[in-house]
Amino acid sequence: MPDPSAPLRKLGFLTIGLFDRDDPARGHESTLAIIELGEQLGFDSAWVRHRHLQYGISSPVAVLAAATQRTSRIELGTAVIPLGWENPLRLAEDLATVDLLSGGRLNPGLSVGPPMRWDDVRPALYPDTADAEDFSYARVERLLRFVRGEAASAFRGTEGIEEFSERVEPHSPGLARRLWYGGASLRSAQWAGEHGMNFLTSSVVRAEQSENFAEIQLSHVRAFRERHPDGAAARVSQGLVVIPTDGATAEQRARYEAYVQSRTPRTTAPQGPGRMMFAVDLVGSSEQIAERLYANPAFREIDEVAFALPFSFAHDDYVQILTDISTRLGPALGWRPSNG
């Protein structure tokens, strides 16, 4: 069993929240049940992925609003909300509302860039303003200002019987410190550090100066912390796909291994015009996965993770995987459950 020199401090998980087109309620209920289970197992955080015009969570803030009423301790995050689909002022209102409902447990993860399949969706999403929309980092900066309580309106006062605020309401004072940027490039890591955000690094990075995934990710972690006011103490969360099989049935193990094998070819070289590199999914016993994680130089420089649950698995598979992560893999990494 690996001997962790720096114990893992925070253990989280990420789910895409898939559902059936003809029965979406059941999929959403499964997602909420998985988040509840995560709290019961002592996970520090649960994160939901964002999908538009697909059969996955399209409104993570609404899903997490429901989760706030079914949990009391676990932190709730988004990984990530693509701001190209959002109005920063309206999103700031929603985020603050859910953060207050959660008692200060919300961790919004964000990203920028044009919406996925932009040419297909632009007539519906921005029929009148598509050419004027700014999908740069400036969109995140607007959200940061609103969440921090800076002015969103030139008017504050009373008109008739109605009172107006100059800032986004409600205001949640601690929320700004829990905003994360999900970045896959060196520039994104640097930008997040310069703007005092937390940094989410996942199983996808851009091959800019290397074609070695671990080397690329390590360079992002270090670049982020070099630019962040908190330096080495700046928060980084790593999200890799891990599939422990300690408690799996023989049928599950075979299916999990086939899933990983089908996805491995894309990890051997940069993919597409963006030269995206994918991490290899880790499947096996918790001891085997822990050894492979400790061999990853980026993992050795972080102390919190949000392991991604595989796409398209069944609810019972997620229960087994989460249980193994919390009872076997987490302890192998020096982590202890939070049940307070």
Q: Model confidence over 41-57: pLDDT tens digits? A: 999 999 999 999 999 99
pLDDT score of 1 = 40
CA triplet 312, 316, 321: central angle to 5 degrees? 80
Give the mean model confidence (pLDDT) for residues 129-140: 98
pLDDT class of 6 with cuts at 50, 70, 90: confident
Confidence at residue 123, expressed as pLDDT on a 0 to 100 scale: 97
Q: What is the pLDDT of residues 155-212, one digit of tens each?
A: 999 999 999 999 999 999 999 999 999 999 999 999 999 999 999 999 999 999 899 9
Alpha-carbon distance of 331 to 327, in angstroms, equals: 7
Answer yes or no: is pLDDT of 340 > 70. no
To which CATH superfamily is domain 10-332 assigned? Luciferase-like domain (3.20.20.30)
- CB of 305 closer than 8 Å to CB of 279: no
The stretch 52-74 carries a mean pLDDT of: 97
User: How does the average pLDDT of the chain come out, rounded?
Assistant: 96
Cα Dmax for the chain: 70
If one counts every other C-beta atom within 10 angstroms of the C-beta of residue 261, the result is 11
CB 197 within 8 A of CB 121: no
| pLDDT at residue 175 in the model | 98
- Whether 2 shows a pLDDT value over 70: the answer reads no
What are the residue ranges spanned by the domains of the chain? 10-332
314: tokens are: 């069944």
